[in-house]
């Protein structure tokens, strides 16, 4: 092994994803991930607290993008429209990492422990969105309701996008972007809440 490892984090993440896909999350060890990446276990732990964190490493970045999206939203937007603008703005990086994101999603869906961690991540995102809305002057319960509804839209849209992207990949088509699916899901939420 060389002393200098270019893009060690990326190599470890890719090795983990490959092994989780091939052998399963539970059957993969940190030692195997490090070996596949051509690195040491010590190097692995410089970048990740445990093997689960490989799959959740971008959570802070996503949270920051969502909060920044709320902060940058036009002051005249309603709380829900501000959340919608933030969701659409945060979709770009996920779309850029499409292959990794889709492979990661398949691994999370197949493992209850990872599904639980995903739910915790979504709860943290909702709390961050609600805090950002409160800083805009949105009182509770409106801030909490808009944030929770936004996370529900994101979750539903993400799963739809992942399913459509997988189907499009099988047929070699492009499929809609995540931002487009988020926009559709937001429109459906507005239609549902306006009805009745």
Q: What pTM, to 2 d.p., does this model score?
A: 0.86
In order along its 196 residues, the chain shows pLDDT tens digits of 444 456 899 999 999 999 999 999 999 999 999 999 999 999 999 999 999 999 998 888 899 999 999 999 999 999 999 999 999 999 988 888 888 888 999 999 999 999 999 999 999 999 999 999 999 999 999 999 999 999 999 999 999 998 887 777 665 556 788 999 999 999 999 888 876 5
Closest of 100, 16, 19, 99 to residue 58, by C-alpha: 100
* Pair 32, 10: CB distance under 8 Å: no
Domains, the chain, in order of start with CATH, read 8-54 (1.10.10.60), 58-194 (1.10.357.10)
């Amino acid at each position: 092994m060389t002393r200098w490892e270019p893009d060690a984090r990326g190599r470890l993440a890719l090795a983990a994803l490959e092994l989780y896909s091939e052998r399963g999350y539970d059957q993969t060890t940190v030692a195997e991930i490090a070996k596949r990446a051509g690195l040491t276990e010590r190097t692995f732990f410089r970048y990740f607290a445990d093997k689960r964190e490989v799959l959740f490493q971008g959570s802070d970045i996503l949270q920051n993008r969502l909060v920044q999206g709320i902060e940058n939203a036009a002051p005249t937007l309603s709380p829900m429209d501000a959340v919608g603008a933030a969701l659409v703005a945060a979709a770009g990086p996920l779309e850029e990492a499409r292959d990794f994101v889709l492979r990661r999603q398949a691994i999370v869906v197949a493992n209850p422990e990872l599904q639980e961690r995903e739910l915790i991540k979504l709860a943290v995102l909702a709390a961050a969105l609600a805090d950002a809305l409160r800083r805009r002057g949105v009182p509770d319960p409106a801030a909490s309701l808009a944030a929770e509804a936004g996370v529900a839209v994101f979750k539903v849209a993400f799963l739809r996008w992942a399913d459509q992207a997988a189907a499009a990949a099988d047929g070699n088509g492009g499929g809609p972007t995540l931002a487009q699916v988020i926009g559709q899901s937001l429109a459906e939420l507005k239609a549902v809440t306006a009805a009745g």
